[in-house]
Structure 1
Amino acid sequence: MTEQELVKKLQQADQLAFKHLVDKYQDKVQNTCWGFVKSSTEAEDLTQEVFIEIYESIHAFKFESKLGTYIYRVAVNKSLDYIRKQKSQKRWGVILSILSWSENKELPSMPDWEHPGVTLENKERASILMSKVEELPDNQRVAFTLHKIEGLSYQEIAEVMQVSLASVESLIFRAKQNLKKKLQGYYQQGI
């Protein structure tokens, strides 16, 4: 089945076509979400949300990009929205606890994690690297994650992020420079 045939069937609410879509893209979507949220449970939930959104919005797909690019874009946007929502909730929780409005609930701590695509032998170093990636500005983090962890080409990243190829090159260059600065002290200590 060609991509166009698949999209047409999805637009007609064909259940077998949707199952085919999920089977084909589920692992990629889940890994993409995991790359941003660092939790397998949250990545699974976001993956479901991504496919629900695709199912509900596929009628608007106009073949201006590849279906895979569209799916990555939805996954990235869902992940970033989730992160923004979490940050907002944490800020609000801090404010409430400062003002003694909370019921002494502890804020959730950052779970220990390792992205399955990370091949570094030393878990501590991988964790430190990924924590520094989390500190990058959103656009740099998205471009860097899609390229270095998900293995997308610059052109594919440009399509997913809806920016120019030059912008992707610049974002990844700046991400590398920022990471170099952030990790410089760690490596100078000889850890």
Structure 2
Amino acid sequence: MNDIDIINDILKGNNRKYELLVDAYQRQVMATCMGFVHHRDDAMDLTQEVFVKAYRALATFQGKASFATWIYRIAVNTCLEHLRKKKKKQTLWLFDQGNDRMEPSHTQTPQHEAEQNELQQQLQSAIDSLPENQRIAFVLSKYDELPQAEIARVMMMTEGAVESLLQRAKKNLQKKLSSLAKEF
């Protein structure tokens, strides 16, 4: 059963089928959210919010793009909305003590782990400081490992524009991180 069949069944009243879509896309949506907020609990909350929004808007899904593209767009918009609200309330502080997806090595010294955490925070801060479109393209490419064609559909732009955004994002990150390296 493909996504369109599942969606049609849901729209006919078989709401239990929505669980199939959640199961199919939850990991990818969670990875997208982690790429924006860098904190597992926030990413889990946002993932749930994405699926609630998608469910409520399911009747508006037209099938012009794949369901995956549609839900990624909802995820990106939900994360950006969350970050804007958070920025209004307080100073933007988007990183936790390291990436929740990384497992610390048990052979590392506390000093080495602290240095790794500091580097991770600097990387996350550099990513967060990218212009919005560059950050979206970078997160979808590196965290979700989406091909440029899919990123182009999610961002509603050409593949060439996505490639350009990714190149500029990498250059910006290199500049930001090389200036940080000079401080050490």
Please give the TM-score of this superposition, normalised by the length of structure 1: 0.82
Alignment partners' CA distance in 1, 2:79 and 2:119: 24
1:142 aligns with 2:127: no
1:130 aligns with 2:115: no
Please give the TM-score of this superposition, normalised by the length of structure 2: 0.85
Residue deviations 1:119-148 (CA, integer Å, cap 9, x gap): 9x9443232212100110111001011101
Residue deviations 1:50-105 (CA, integer Å, cap 9, x gap): 111111111111111111111111011100000011011126xxxxxxxxxxxxxx
Counterpart of 1:98 in structure 2 is: none
Q: SS of the residue aligned with 2:101?
A: coil
Letter in 2 for 1:20: L
1:72-91 superposed matches below 5 A: 72-90=72-90
Q: Which moved more, 1:69-78 or 1:25-34?
A: 25-34
Q: By how many angstroms is 1:118 displaced?
A: 9.6
Alignment partners' CA distance in 2, 1:20 and 1:142: 27
Letter in 2 for 1:33: C
1:140-179 superposed matches below 5 A: 140-179=134-173
Alignment partners' CA distance in 1, 2:162 and 2:65: 17
1:8 aligns with 2:8: yes
Alignment partners' CA distance in 1, 2:6 and 2:49: 20
Q: By how many angstroms is 1:13 displaced?
A: 3.7
Aligned CA distance change for structure 1 residues 188 and 110 (closer, same or farther; 3 Å): closer
Task: Check whether the contact 2:95–2:121 (CA below 8 A) recurs between aligned residues.
Answer: no
1:99-114 superposed matches below 5 A: 111-114=96-99
Q: By how many angstroms is 1:16 displaced?
A: 2.3
Over the matched positions of the two proteins, sequence identity in percent amounts to 37
Paired residues in the alignment total 174
1:185 aligns with 2:170: no
Task: Check whether the contact 1:33–1:46 (CA below 8 A) recurs between aligned residues.
Answer: yes
Q: By how many angstroms is 1:167 displaced?
A: 1.2
Task: Check whether the contact 1:117–1:150 (CA below 8 A) recurs between aligned residues.
Answer: no
Alignment partners' CA distance in 2, 1:8 and 1:169: 35
Alignment partners' CA distance in 1, 2:93 and 2:170: 29
RMSD: 2.3
